[in-house]
């Protein structure tokens, strides 16, 4: 795939979990099964070993294995974006392994250090992006917060930076960033399915969906309504499916992964436990997830 492919990605990014066995080792067979199922839907691409894929719990070797298994299972149906981050040595190692495994692009998550000086932050992204020939997307989430000027500077310094994935949910600032940088980058929504109305209102071309793990058709319906600016339809979908799920996810830190894995298991898809410091879904919450999955039956 050419570097320009990032600009062509519109609609929905799948965001698969990383299935684990009971001993917390990566279950590559389960991953292949899930990716094969997910990529039979018309998503524009999917992100393996990303935030929902528990990147920060993985080794560089595991990221390489996960990327290779994902590329194999996708069978060329869509682009595969691999996660990387941590620090420069580990991030570069992950990036090189992902490229070797056949990834089509990289998603760089925030560095380990929460309050770096500006120049150090630029160097972090430049170093990882420059380690491969792959197009790069930067994921602005948690402590990786950028001003319009800083995003413009990164776009200037990193030739293979082609996309920006917002994880802040600040529509006001995101609009300013998009206005400052223009069509130099492709713009994506990345904080969650619950932010779809706001993201498409400000002009993103696609969003990353954790709901894609359980109800791909719902993810596609959300994106279609968003791109059409059909806010009546969006409100209907959000109120019936998305807000109830995210209300459960908000009960405990890390539940954005744990609850999705629990929902998958309830629906008969392999997902397994989560790795520390995340915790598995509590028994009192599992029943609420199970009840909600009955509501989801008409979009499965």
Residue pair 126/151 in contact (Cβ under 8 Å)? The answer is no
CB neighbour burial string for 6-16, b if at least 16 within 10 angstroms, e if fewer: beebebbbbbb
Dist CA 149 CA 81 (whole Å): 26
Distance of CA 272 to the CA centre of its chain: 19
Contacts of 21 (CB under 8 A, 6+ apart): 27, 272
The enclosing H or E element of 109 equals: strand 105-111
- Output the CA–CA distances (angstroms, integers) from residue 153 to 37, 113, 139, 219, in the order listed: 39, 20, 15, 33
Which letter does DSSP use for residue 159 in this model?
A: T
d(CA 246, CA 241): 9
Name the residue among 168, 203, 209, 167 with its Cα closest to residue 187: 203
| Encoded tokens for 13 | 């990014």
Q: How far apart are CA 57 and CA 276, in angstroms?
A: 8
User: Which residue numbers are catalytic?
Assistant: 139, 165
What span, in angstroms and rounded, lies between the C-alpha atoms of 285 and 297?
Answer: 19
Give the integer Cα–Cα distance in Å for 64 and 67. Answer: 5
Tokens of 151: 């995003």
């Amino acid at each position: 795939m050419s570097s320009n492919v990032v600009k062509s990605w519109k609609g929905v990014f799948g965001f698969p979990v990383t299935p684990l066995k009971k001993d917390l080792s990566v279950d590559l067979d389960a991953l292949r099964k899930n990716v094969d199922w997910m990529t039979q839907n018309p998503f524009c691409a999917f992100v393996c070993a990303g935030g929902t894929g528990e990147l920060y719990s993985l080794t560089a070797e595991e990221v390489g294995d996960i990327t290779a298994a994902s590329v194999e299972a996708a069978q060329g149906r869509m682009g595969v974006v691999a996660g990387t981050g941590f620090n420069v040595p580990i991030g570069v190692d992950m990036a090189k392994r992902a490229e070797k495994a056949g990834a089509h692009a990289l998603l760089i998550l925030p560095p380990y250090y929460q309050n770096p000086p500006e120049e150090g932050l630029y160097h972090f992204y430049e170093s990882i992006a420059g380690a491969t020939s792959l197009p790069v997307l930067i994921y602005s989430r948690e402590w990786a917060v950028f001003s319009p000027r800083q995003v413009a500077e990164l776009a200037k310094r990193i030739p293979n930076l082609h996309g920006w994935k917002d994880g802040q949910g600040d529509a006001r600032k995101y609009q300013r960033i998009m206005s400052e940088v223009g069509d130099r980058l492709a713009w994506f929504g990345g904080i969650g399915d619950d932010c779809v109305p706001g993201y498409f209102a400000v002009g993103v071309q696609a969003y990353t969906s954790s709901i894609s793990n359980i109800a791909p058709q719902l993810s596609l319906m959300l994106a279609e309504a968003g791109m059409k600016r059909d806010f009546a339809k969006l409100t209907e979908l959000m109120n019936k499916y998305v807000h109830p799920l995210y209300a459960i996810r908000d009960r405990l830190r890390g539940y954005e992964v744990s609850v999705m894995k629990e929902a998958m298991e309830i629906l008969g898809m392999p997902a397994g436990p989560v790795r520390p410091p995340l915790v598995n879904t509590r028994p009192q919450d599992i029943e609420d997830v199970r009840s909600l999955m009955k509501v989801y039956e008409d979009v499965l």
